[in-house]
């Protein structure tokens, strides 16, 4: 299981890019919302994670829409796709008739 961190009920991944020599992550358990962050050190990563969550919550407040609550299973999973694979999305559209 990959390491994670939490802030205000949101869980984020902690990953490392050898190519870019940077830590990065994304918030787990949200649908159709992609929140990512990065930093050159763990402290920078943590600050950017907090800022990203705070920015998302502020954006939702300003637009008058409710912020998504992470799915409870998100903390247990480490590799949630940001969107369904194209073949699955295409099959859904065909069923709906879009």
The secondary structure of residue 23, as a DSSP letter, is E
Domain that holds residue 22: 4-96
Q: What tens digit of pLDDT does each residue of 31-52 get?
A: 999 999 999 999 999 999 999 9
The confidence score (pLDDT) of residue 72 equals 73
The confidence score (pLDDT) of residue 64 equals 96
Strand order in the sheet with 15-17: 15-17, 22-26, 36-39
- How many CA atoms lie less than 13 Å away from 88 in the CB half-sphere? 4
Tell me which residues of the chain have a pLDDT lower than 70. Answer: 1, 73-98
Number of domains in the chain: 1
Entry pTM: 0.72
CA distances, 30 to each of 1, 24, 69, 97 (Å): 19, 17, 7, 26
CB distance 11 to 75 below 8 Å: yes
The confidence score (pLDDT) of residue 93 equals 47
The confidence score (pLDDT) of residue 76 equals 54
């Amino acid at each position: 299981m990959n390491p994670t961190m939490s802030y205000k009920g949101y869980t984020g991944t902690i990953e490392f890019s050898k190519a870019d020599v940077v830590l990065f992550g994304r918030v787990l358990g949200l649908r159709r919302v992609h929140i990512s962050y990065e930093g050159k050190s763990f402290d920078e990563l943590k600050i950017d994670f907090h800022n990203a969550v705070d920015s998302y919550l502020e954006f939702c407040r300003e637009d008058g829409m409710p912020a998504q609550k992470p799915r409870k299973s998100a903390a247990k999973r480490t590799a949630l796709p940001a969107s369904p694979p194209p073949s699955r999305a295409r099959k859904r559209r065909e069923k709906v008739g879009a």
